[in-house]
Structure 1
Amino acid sequence: NKNAHYIFILILFILSIYKHIYFQNKYPSNYVKTMEDKPLGYIKAKSLEKSLEFIHLKTPTHDIVSPGNLVSGQPQDDNEFGHYLAGFIEGDGCLVTPLTLKTLNNKSRVCSVQIIFHICDLELVKCLQKRIGHGNIYKSKNKKAIRLMIQNLDGVLSIINLINGKMRTPKINALYKMIDWLNKHKLENENHIIKLPLDMSPINNNSWLAGFIDTDGHFSIKGFTNNIKTHPALQFYICQREFDNSGSSLKDIMQKIANFLNTSLKYRKINGYPQFNITTSSYENNMVLINYLTKFPLFTSKYLNYIDWVKALDLFYNKKVKELKRAKNIPVNSLILKEIRIIKSNINKNRKIFTWDHLKNFY
C-alpha cells in the first residue's frame, strides 16, 4: 500500500544521510574520491597507495614518506609558492568559470580550479592540498591520473591570490575571466580583485619554470648502448602545442625559455598537431638548467629522474671521474657506459622506487 511505500522511501533517505555523515566523520580530510563525471565513492588514501604498487609500479617496493609526517626544512614562502603554483597550473591546470549562475536544478554554480597529476605523485598532491588548505583529491577511473579540485569560494580566492601577477602564458585570460565573474557575482565592491599583468621578469627570477617543468618537462638519457652508431646524449626537453584552447599562441613563453637555456626553439608537427619543442643537448645549456633547478627545485616524482639524470651527466662529463678510472687501469668508456646504463634502466617509465624526502623542503 501507499503508506508502506512512503515508509520504505523514508528509510532509504535516512540511511543515505547516515552513510554521508559516517564517511564525513571517518574520513574528514584523508580520503580520495574516484571520479568520472561525478564522485563514485570514497577510498582511503592508504588503499590508493597500495593500488599504485599493483596498477602502476607492479612492485612492492614503492617507498612512501607521508608529507604529514615531514618537518618543513624552510619557512612557508607564499610568494615563491605562488610562482611555482602558477607554472604548474599553466602547464597542467584548468581555471573553470561558469557560464550561468544557476544549474537546471536551480543550484548555485561555482568557479573551480583543477590541477592534473600522474597517479604516482599522490604524495605531492596531498602535500599541495595541505599547503593550500582547500580541495579534494579525485582519482580518474581507468586512468593513471589524479586531480586536485578546489571548488569552494575561499579555496578559489586563495589560489587567485597566490598566482595573480605570476602567470606567464595566455592562460592568464582564463584567470581574468574568473576574476571578472567573482567581482560581478560574489564579491562586494571593497573586496574586488585587481587583475595583475603577466610576469615579464627574467625566467630565472623565480620558481615559475620549475612548476612548468614539473608538468611538461622530461629528462632523457639516449644511446649508451653497444651499438657504436648510436649517439649518446643527455637531454632535457619540453614541448607545448602551438596554440592553447583559447587560440592564443604559446610561442612567446617557449621562446623565452629557449633563450634562457641558450638553445633554439623548434617547430614541428606530430600526428598533424603543430607544437613547439625545446631540447638541451650540450654540457653548457644543461648546466644552465641545473643551476636554475638547484635554486628552484622540482617536487613531483620528476625530481627523482632529474637527480639520476644529473648523476649520468656528471659521469659523462666529469674529467676527475675519468682520471680516477684510468688510475685503476679500468677502461674509462666501458665503465662509464655500464654505470650510465644502470641509471638509464631505472628512470622515467622504468622507475620502481619513489621516495619523497624532497618534500621536506616544499614551500
Structure 2
Amino acid sequence: MTIIYNKAEMLGFYIAGLFEGDGHIVMPTVFNNHNPRWHITFRIKNKPLAQKLLSKIGYGFIRYKTKHNACVLTVSQVKGLKVLINMINGKFRTPKINQLYLLIDWLNKHHGTQIKKLPTYLGHLSKDAWLAGFIDADGSFGIRYTKKAPGIKQKVSCRFRLEQRMVDAKTNQSYSSVLTLIADYLVVRLNTRTQKSTKRTYYIIEMSSRASIIVLINYLNHYGLLSAKLLDYLDWRKAAQHIIHKTNYTQQGLAEISVLKNNMNTGRSNFNWDHLNDF
C-alpha cells in the first residue's frame, strides 16, 4: 500500500492532504526578518512518521510539545521551503491554499524566485493520495459491538468518521465544497455537529454502510495511510470484511470482531512501523 509513495507526485499529494488537515504556516510580520515557518502537528505516537517525512523533505526539524503529547514537523530554511512548494504546489483542495500562496509571494519577493501559484486541484479524489493524508490528519475508524441483552438489540457495525471546521480561520472561506466532494465519493451525506464545550459547529462525515465501506477500502488499499491510524484501519478492515460477506453475526465473526474492537484506538499498546520502510 505504501510503496506508491516512492513516486514523488503521490507523496506530494499525501503531504498536501496531511497539511490541509493538521498544518499551518506562520508568516513573518513586517517588523521582523524571520523566515516563514511551515508546520505539521502530530500526536507523539506518530513521531516515526514525522521523522520519515523530515528525511524525505531533507530540511527542517521536529519540535516536541510534551505538555500536549505532540510533536511538530517544522521547515523554515529557504531551501527546504522551496523543496516543499515543489512537492505540494498544485495539489491543494481546501482554503489553506491561501497560506501556500502567501509563502510563495514571500519567496518571490525576498529571494528572487518566480514560483507560479497553481490553482486548487480539481482531479477526482480516487486518483491520488490527497485523501489518505487528510484522513491521517482528521479521520478515525471505529467498531461498534453492542451485545444482546434484555431490551437491547445486538448490533455490529464498522464506522468511519471525518470531521473538519466549517470555515478557514484565516480567510473565512468555507470548507463546504471539498467536504461535499468527500461525502459524495464515500456515498454519504455531509452533516454538521456543534461541539458542546466550545459551541463551534463542524462539518462531519460518518459512514457505516456496506457500499461506503467498499469504496473506502478500495481507495485505502491503493493509497495507504502512513500514520499509526493505519493499524486501526487494518483491524477495521478485517471487521468490515465480515460485514461485507455477512458473517458479522456468526459466532466466529462476533468473536473476532470483539477482539479487534478491544485492541483498536486507545486499546492499542503495540505499534508496528514496518510500512514506513517501503518508501
Match among 80, 85, 90 for residue 10 of structure 2: 80
Q: Deviations over 1:271-296 (max 9, x none)?
A: 21111111111111110010011111
Structure 1 counterpart of 2:166? 242
Q: 2:257 is matched by which residue type in structure 1?
A: I
Matches within 5 A, 1:250-329: 250-271=175-196, 272-319=199-246
Q: 2:263 is matched by which residue type in structure 1?
A: N
Unaligned runs of 5+ in 2: none
Structure 2 Cα separation of the partners of residues 75 and 210 of structure 1 = 11
Aligned partners of 1:316 and 1:336 also within 8 Å: no
In the TM superposition, residue 73 of structure 1 has moved relative to its aligned partner by 5.2
Residues 160 and 335 of structure 1: CA distance in aligned 2, closer, same or farther (over 3 Å): same
Q: 2:76 is matched by which residue type in structure 1?
A: Q
Q: Deviations over 1:170-229 (max 9, x none)?
A: 0001111111122112x22xx311100000111111000000001111011012424443
Match among 103, 106, 110 for residue 181 of structure 1: 106
Q: 2:204 is matched by which residue type in structure 1?
A: N
Q: 1:283 is matched by which residue type in structure 2?
A: R
Structure 2 Cα separation of the partners of residues 131 and 343 of structure 1 = 33
Q: Deviations over 1:104-154 (max 9, x none)?
A: xxxx31011111011111111111111110111111031211111111111
Structure 2 counterpart of 1:132? 57
Task: Return the index of the structure with the highest Cα Rg.
Answer: 1
Structure 2 Cα separation of the partners of residues 264 and 175 of structure 1 = 30
Unaligned runs of 5+ in 1: 1-71, 103-107, 323-331
Structure 2 Cα separation of the partners of residues 134 and 219 of structure 1 = 32
1:91 aligns with 2:13: no
Structure 1 counterpart of 2:261? 344
Matches within 5 A, 1:153-232: 153-185=78-110, 187-188=111-112, 191-227=113-149, 228-229=152-153, 231-232=155-156
Structure 1 counterpart of 2:68? 143
Structure 2 Cα separation of the partners of residues 230 and 178 of structure 1 = 53
Q: 2:255 is matched by which residue type in structure 1?
A: K
What TM-score results when the alignment is normalised by the length of structure 1?
0.72
Structure 1 Cα separation of the partners of residues 161 and 40 of structure 2 = 22
CA-based RMSD of the aligned residues comes to 1.7
1:110 aligns with 2:40: no
Structure 1 Cα separation of the partners of residues 164 and 66 of structure 2 = 26
Of all paired residues, the percent bearing the same amino acid is 37
Count of aligned positions? 273
Q: Deviations over 1:290-326 (max 9, x none)?
A: 001111100000000000000011123325x68xxxx
Between 273-282 and 75-84, report the one with greater CA deviation.
75-84
